[in-house]
Structure 1
Amino acid sequence: MTTASPLSPAAIRKAEEDSPKLRARDLANQLGLSEAQLVAARIGQGTTRIAAHPDRLMPAAELLGEVMALTRVEGCVHEKVGRYANYHPGPHAAMVLTEEIDLRIFPSHWVHAYAVETAREDGPPRRSLQVFDAAGDAVHKIHMRDTSAHEAWEDVVAALALPDQSEGQTVEPRKPVEAARTNPDKLEILRAEWTRLTDTHQFLRLCSKLKMNRLGAYRTAGEPFARPLAPEAVNTMLERIQARGVEVMVFVGNRGCIQIHSGPIRSLKPMGPWQNVMDPGFNLHLRLDKVAEVWIADKPTQRGPAVSVEAFDAEGELIFQIFGRRTDDRDWRPDWQDLVAGLESLREPAE
C-alpha cells in the first residue's frame, strides 16, 4: 500500500515559504508528510527525481569533490566532510571506505532520491543529493560545500535523472521501531554463545537465532556482558572523551545507512537539549533528552574485547554506538576501557 500526500505540491510549497526557518524534517512532521514528499513538491523547480540505488549514486558522488555526508536518526545527526571514493558494491550491503567518509549501505532501503538546488544570495546555490526509504524518511544526504566541484553538478544530475519528473511522491506507511525483544528462556544459551563470539558482526545473527534483538539481548544477558548506565552518563562520556583525548569510533545509522567517525572529539557545544560536537570535518548533534536507555556491551573478538556504549530512545531505536578506535591488529584500547569502566551503572536496570 502506498500513500499520496494529503496536500497538493502547491500547498506544500506555500507552507515552506511561510516557515522559512523551520527544518525540512520538522516541517514535514508538522504537515503530516514524509520528508520525501516535502522535497518532491518542488520537482521541476530546482529539484530533480534521480536514481536512488547506491551503485548509481556513489560513483556520481565521487565527481562532486569535497562534500558533507549526513546520516541521521530521530535523536542524532552525524555529519562528515570528505570525498566519496573506494565504493564496494553488494546486493545486500555495500560500503564507502575512506579516511573521512566511512559508510555501511543497505541498498534495499535506498528507494527515492532527489537532486536539490536552492538559490542563495551569496556564493553558489545550495546543492544536495538526498536519499529516502520507501516511507519517505531520510536515509542519507550529500551536501555540496563552497569548495565542492560545482562545475560537475549539472552533468551529475543529468546522468542520474529519471524519466518521471512529475510533482509529488507516494510513499509506503512507516514501519514502527521494533521494541526490545527479550527471551529469558534462552539466557544460558545467549551467555554461552556470547562468550564464543569472534567478531562483532556475529552478534546480530546470534540475536536473530534466539528470537531477540539487540536491546532485548542486552536486557536478557545482564552483567558482565551488558551493563546499564543512567541516560545522563552519555554526556559524561562525551566530556571525558574530549578531556582525555581518547580516539573513538562513533556509529549513527538508520535502516539504510550507517555512518562512522573515527578519531577524537575536540569541541563540545551544548545548546538547549542538544549536545553538539563541532570539530573540523566532523559534527554530531545529539538530543540528550531523547536518550532513554544506555548500555555498555562487551563482545569478544579475535582481536580482543570490543567494548561499546550504546544509546536507545524510548521506542527502542538505536541512537548511536561508540567504540574505542580500532587499530589494524586489535579492537582493545586501554584508554577507552578505563573511561568506560569509570561510568556509573544504573541502579535500577531497565525493564
Structure 2
Amino acid sequence: MPSCLSASNGNSHNIKEINVNSALYERYQQAKADNKAKYARDLAAYLNVSEAQLLHSRVGHDKAVRLNVDAPTLLTELATVGKVKAITRNEYVVHEQVGRYDNATFSPHGGLILNPRALDLRMFFSHWDAIFALTEDSKHGERHSVQFFDKQGDALHKVYTTDETDMAAWQALIEKYATPDNAELTHEPAAAFTSQPVSEELKQQLEQEWRNMTDVHQFFVLLKKNNLSRQQVFTAVSDDLAWKVPNDSFNQLINTAFKDQNEIMIFVGNRGCVQIFTGEIKKIMPYQSEGSDLKWLNIFNPDFTLHMIENGIAECWVTRKPTQDGHVTSLEVFDNQGNQIAQMYGQRTEGTPEQEQWRQQVTALPRI
C-alpha cells in the first residue's frame, strides 16, 4: 500500500512548503527571542526574507490567515467596520491616518478613497498581490490588522482596528474571506527603470510641455511619454519651474507651517499606494535614540501621525506646475535611490489659487 506522501505530487509540494514555512517561523521566533528587531519589517530584513514571506510563515502558527479576495472588494467592504487606522509607508517615511474607508471609487487599474482632511488614498492595483489578516498580542491587548503586499513582498498598506472599530463587522469580514489555502508566494523583481539621456532638443521640448500644463496630473504624462525620472526633468527645465533646496527643507516647512498654523498637504507613498494628510500641524517631536545615527522627525496630530527618518533624505526640490488656477508649488523629497519618499503642498481646493502664505513659506527656502 503506497504511503500518502507517494500517492500525490501535490501533497509532496504542500509538505515541502510547510517545512520551509516552519523553518522560517522557527528562525523568526528565535530572532524575536534574541531581540534582533522590534517590528516585522525589520525582523524580515534581519532574516533576509520579505515581510510578506514572514507573515506567510506565521499562518498556521499564529493568529494569521490568508484572505482570498481582491483588494478593491475588501477596501470597499472595510467601510462597514467604521473607524480604523490606515498606514502607508516607504523606506524612510510612515504615514498613519485614523479614518473610514468611505467614498471609494475603483477602476481596473486604480482607486481612490476620497475623504480630504481624513482618510485620503490613491491606489495603483497592478502592484497589489497577497492579503493577510493578523491578530497579535500587544501591551494594550489584542491588535487586529489587514495587510496588503506587493509582488516584491513589501507592505503597500495596512489597516488596524481602533477603539471605535465595529469588531463584529471586522470579524465577519475576516471570516468571509479567510482561506485555508496559503498558497506559496511568488515574488518578482521590481521593474528596473531605464531612462533616456536628455538632449538639448529634449530640454526645450520639456520646458514647453511643462509650461503648457493646465493640471498638475499632466506631469505624470510628461514623465511617461519621455521616459524620464522626475529629477531629470527638474534639472532640464528653467529654475523658475524647479530648483533644488537643502535636505532639511521638509523639516523647515513643517516647523514653519506649525508656527503659522496654515493647512498643508503631506503625500507619502510607495509603488502601489499614496496616503494624503490635509490640515494644520499640531505637534512636532524630533527624536534620536541613544547609540543610533537615525534622526527621526515625528508629527503627532489627534488622527494623523508621521514618522520620517531625516537621514534618508538625499535631495529636495521645489517645483512650480501651471494649472488653470495659477501655479501650484510643492516640495518633493527623494532618497538616494531617486525614489520620492514624500511630497508637500499647501492645502488647495480645486478651482481656487494656492495659498499665498504657503507660496511665501516655500520661496523663503534657500536655493542650492
**TM-score normalised by structure 1 residue count:** 0.91
1:55 counterpart residue number: 72
Match of 1:349 in 2: none
Q: Which residue of structure 1 lines up, in the alignment, with residue 210 of structure 2?
A: 194
Amino acid at match of 2:278: S
Distance 1:330 1:51, change over 3 A: farther
Q: CA separation in 2, counterparts of 1:52 and 1:259?
A: 22
Give me the whole-angstrom Cα distance separating, in 2, the residues matched to 1:85 and 1:303: 28
SS of the residue corresponding to residue 147 of structure 1 reads strand
Q: Which of the pair has more CA radius of gyration?
A: 2
Alpha-carbon distance, 1:174 to partner:
4.3
Match of 2:220 among 179, 185, 204: 204
Secondary structure of 2:171 counterpart: helix
- Kindly provide the CA deviation profile for residues 52-79 of structure 1, in whole angstroms up to 9, marking residues without a partner as x: 5322211231122111110001110011
Q: 2:101 is aligned with what amino acid? A: Y
Q: Which runs of 5+ in 2 are unaligned?
A: 1-16, 289-294
Query: Normalised by the size of structure 2, how large is the TM-score?
Result: 0.87
8 Å CA contact 2:207, 2:238 repeated in 1? no
> Contact 2:112/2:120 (CA < 8 Å) preserved in 1?
yes
Aligned to 2:268: 252
Which letter does structure 1 place at the counterpart of 2:131?
A
- State whether residues 181 and 211 of structure 1, in contact with CA within 8 Å, keep that contact through their aligned partners in structure 2: yes
Q: Distance in 2 between matches of 1:180 and 1:270?
A: 37
Verify: 1:112 aligned to 2:130, yes or no.
yes
Separation in structure 1 between the aligned mates of residue 331 and residue 139 of structure 2, nearest angstrom: 43
Q: 1:25-64 residue pairs with structure 2 within 5 A?
A: 25-44=41-60, 45-51=62-68, 53-64=70-81
2:133–2:146 contact (8 Å) kept in structure 1: yes
Higher deviation after alignment, 37-46 or 276-285:
37-46
Q: Deviations over 1:64-99 (max 9, x none)?
A: 211111000111001100111111011111111124
Q: 1:245-284 to 2 correspondence within 5 Å? A: 245-272=261-288, 273-284=295-306
Q: Deviation string for 1:8-39 (max 9, x for gaps)?
A: 33323332343386111111111111111111
2:88 to 50, 57, 71: 71
Structure 1 residue 228 and structure 2 residue 250: aligned?
no
Question: In 1, distance between residues paired with 2:238 and 2:126?
Answer: 34
After superposition, give the CA deviation of every residue in 1:301-347 in whole Å (9 maximum; x if it has no partner). 1122111000000110001110110124224110100101100111x
Match of 2:345, SS state, is: strand
Question: Does the aligned pair in 2 maintain the 1:180–1:215 contact within 8 Å?
Answer: no
Distance 1:122 1:198, change over 3 A: closer
Higher normalized strand content (fraction of residues)? 2
Please state if 1:327 is matched with 2:335.
no
Give the gaps of 5 or more residues in structure 1. 347-351
Instruction: Give the 3 Å change call, closer, same or farther, for CA 51–264 of structure 1 in structure 2.
Output: farther
C-alpha contact (below 8 Å) 2:312/2:336 kept by paired residues: yes
Identity %: 34
**Structure 1 pair 52–32 and aligned structure 2 pair: CA distance change class (3 A):** farther
Q: Does 1:151 align with 2:168?
A: yes
Taking only aligned residues, the RMSD between alpha carbons, in angstroms, comes to: 2.0
Indicate conservation of the 8 Å contact 2:24/2:54, yes or no. Answer: no
Partner Cα distance (2:92, 2:58) in 1: 27
